[in-house]
Amino acid sequence: KEERPASLGEHVRPREGSGERRSIGALFATPPPGSSPRRAILLSGRQEPKHRPGRPFLPRGRSARCARPPPGEMACPKLRVAVIGAGAAGLCAARHILASPDTFADPVVFEASDHVGGTWVYTEETGEDANGWPIHSSMYSDLRTNLPKEVMAFPDFPFDPSLPSFLHHSAVLAYLERYMGHFSIQDHIRFRWKVDSVKPVPKRTEGGPGGWDVTATLQAPTPTCQQLTERFDAVMVCTGHYSSPFIPPIPGLDSFQGCLLHSHSFRHPEPFAGRSVVLVGAGPSGVDLALLLFLWLLEWF
C-alpha cells in the first residue's frame, strides 16, 4: 500500500470484481555491457499467484467451536491450528487463536524466513536467497503506502498517532513487529521452517476426527536435514499470492537485445540513470515506478 499513484495494495489484494490476481509487478529491460546503453524496457503488469485460491482449510470432522461442558462432563479437546506464514495475515490469525484459549490450543506458526512481516520485509537481495528459494518481497527502497495508516491498522491495535498518514515501508514492518510483541505471538513462531506439504487425513469410520498432516523442513545450515510431520485440526495458509513475477508473452521480448527486469526485483532507480526506458503497464505500480525513475532517465516511454 503506497502513497504515490502506484499501489502496494495491488499485490496485497486482487482488483475488486475482476476475479483475477494482480501485483505491483513491473518489468524492466536494460542493455547488457557492450550493447545500446540508452535503451531499456520496463513492463508493469500481472504476477503469477503462488497459491490459487480454493477451498479454505477447515477442521475436518470437528466443530470450530467448543463450548464449556456442563459440570461432570468431559471437556472437548482443544483444536490445534497450524498457521503458515508470519506476515500480517499470519500474525493476525495467531493473535485471534491465542484470544480463544477455551477452544484452541496454542497455534504453531511456520515461517520460512528468519523474520516476521512477510512482504513488508525489505531486502537488497533479488532472485534467490541463500537457501535457493525465491526472494518473497517486492519492496523497493523508496516505497511508501498509498493508503493512510488510519485504514491499514488492525482494529484493536492502531498505528502510532505521531506518524504521518502515509508511511515508509519500514514503519509498517515496525508496526507488525510491535503487534507481535504486544500479543506475545513470537513464542509460537517457528522461524526458518518451510512447509513442504499439507495432506488431509480422512475421518475414521467410527466417527473419530480427521485432520491435516503438515510436513515442514528446517531451513538452516545443519549437517543433516531436519524434517517433521505434525497433525493439526485446521490449517491457515497466510503466505500471500504475489511473490512470483509473471512476464507476459509479448512478441519481440525474446529478441530484445537488452536485459529484462521485473519490478519484483526493482530496488533503486540509480541503475537507470541516463538511459531510455520503456515501461509496459500503467497500473498503480507502473506509475509509481515511472515517477521514481523520472528524474534519473534521459528518455522514457
The three cell numbers of residue 4 are 504515490
Contacts (Cβ under 8 Å, ≥6 apart) of 264: 23, 24, 25, 47, 126, 135, 138, 243, 245
**Structure confidence at residue 297 as a pLDDT band (50, 70, 90):** confident
Residue appearing with cell numbers 512478441: 251
Q: What percent of the chain has pLDDT over 90?
A: 47
What distance in Å separates the CA atoms of residue 4 and residue 98, rounded to the nearest whole number? 36
Mean pLDDT across the chain:
79
CB 280 within 8 A of CB 250: yes
Is it the case that residue 130 has pLDDT exceeding 80?
no
CATH H-level superfamily of 81-237: FAD/NAD(P)-binding domain (3.50.50.60)
**Structure confidence at residue 8 as a pLDDT band (50, 70, 90):** very low
What distance in Å separates the CA atoms of residue 49 and residue 72, rounded to the nearest whole number? 50
Beta-sheet strand order (sheet of 234-237): 189-191, 108-111, 81-84, 234-237
Mean pLDDT, rounded, for 44-58:
44
Question: For residue range 138-177, what is the model confidence (pLDDT) as tens digits?
Answer: 999 999 998 999 999 999 999 999 999 999 999 999 999 9
Q: What is the pLDDT of residue 275?
A: 82
**Structure confidence at residue 235 as a pLDDT band (50, 70, 90):** very high
Backbone phi and psi for residue 11, each to the nearest 5 degrees, phi listed first:
-100, 5
What's the CA dihedral at 100, 157, 242, 124 to 10 degrees? -120
* Position with higher pLDDT, 126 vs 21: 126
Is it the case that residue 59 has pLDDT exceeding 60?
no
**Structure confidence at residue 12 as a pLDDT band (50, 70, 90):** very low
CB 231 within 8 A of CB 253: no
Could you tell me the pTM of the whole model? 0.74
Q: What is the pLDDT of residue 69?
A: 57
Mean pLDDT, rounded, for 26-46:
50
**Structure confidence at residue 77 as a pLDDT band (50, 70, 90):** confident
The three cell numbers of residue 179 are 503487534
What distance in Å separates the CA atoms of residue 138 and residue 23, rounded to the nearest whole number? 9
What DSSP line would sit under 148-168, residue for residue? Answer: -HHHHSBTTBPPPTTS-SS-B
Span(s) in the chain for CATH 3.50.50.60: 81-237
| Dihedral class, residue 291 (left if φ above 0, else alpha if ψ from -120 to 50, else beta) | alpha
Residue 40 pairs with which residues in a beta bridge?
277
C-alpha count within 13 angstroms, C-beta hemisphere, residue 172: 30
